[in-house]
Amino acid sequence: MINVRLGNGFDVHAFTEGNELILCGVKIPFSKKLSGHSDADVGLHAITDAIFGALAAGVIGTHFPPNDSKWENAKSSIFLKKSLKILKEKNGEINNLDITVICEEPKISKYTKEIQKNISKLLNIKEEKISLKATTTEGLGFTGRKEGIAVMSNILVNIKS
Ligand code: ZN
C-alpha cells in the first residue's frame, strides 16, 4: 500500500551586507547576502521543512537547535540530508515538489534551470519532479521593499508499507 502525504515549508531570511547569496545551493551574485545562523539558504530551509512536515517530524530547529553554535555557518544541505535520512527510514520517496521564491530582487528567473538541476542532484530525483518558480509581491510588504526573500515549498511523498 502507498500512503501519500503532503508537506509544506515556509521560510524567510533578511538581506544584509554582502556580495552573493545562496539559494537552493546555487550561488547568486548580488549586492547583498542573506543573514542567518547557517548559510541562510532560504530555499533549502523551505524544502527541508516541507519534507519534515510530510513526515510529521518537526522542523529544522527541532533537529538542529539554532542556539547550538555547532550549526553556525553550517551548509544547509546538512539539514536537507537529515530530512532525507528520515524519509528513507520511513520507506518514503518524493513524488513531486513545487517551490515558489518570493522576492523583488535578485531576479531569480535566469537561475531557475540551474537551481532545479541542483535540487534534483541534492534530492536524487528527476528534474521533472521539481517545479521552481519566482514571483514578486508587486512592491508590497517586506519582499516588495527588497528587505529579504521568502520561499514556499510544497511536497508530496509516497510512503510504502
Ligand atoms: Zn531559514
* pLDDT surpasses 90 at 71: no
3-state secondary structure of 143: helix
Q: CA 19, CA 33: separation in Å to the nearest integer?
A: 6
Give the pLDDT of residue 66: 82
CA-to-CA dists, residue 110 to 61, 106, 130, 135, angstroms: 31, 10, 16, 13
Placement of cell 523551505 in the chain: 46
Amino acid at site 94: I
Confidence band of 67 (pLDDT split at 50, 70, 90): confident
Confidence band of 89 (pLDDT split at 50, 70, 90): very high
Q: What is the mean pLDDT of residues 1-27?
A: 97
Q: What percent of the chain has pLDDT over 90?
A: 92
Express each pLDDT in 33-63 by its tens digit.
999 988 999 999 999 999 999 999 999 999 9
Give the pLDDT of residue 69: 85
Q: Does residue 29 have a cis peptide bond before it, meaning omega lies within 30 degrees of 0?
A: no
Cα(95) to centroid of ligand 1, in Å?
Answer: 24
Cα(91) to centroid of ligand 1, in Å?
Answer: 27
Q: 151, 144, 145, 139: which is closest to 47 by C-alpha?
A: 151
Give the pLDDT of residue 73: 83
Q: What is the mean pLDDT of residues 111-115?
A: 96
Give the pLDDT of residue 140: 98
Cα(96) to centroid of ligand 1, in Å?
Answer: 21
Cα(40) to centroid of ligand 1, in Å?
Answer: 6
C-alpha cell at 149: 526573500
Q: 160 Cβ partners below 8 Å, 6+ apart?
A: 1, 2, 3, 91, 92, 93
Q: Quote the DSSP letter at residue 91.
A: T
* pLDDT surpasses 90 at 161: no
Give the pLDDT of residue 62: 92
Q: Taking a C-beta distance cutoff of 8 angstroms, is the pair 146, 41 a contact?
A: no
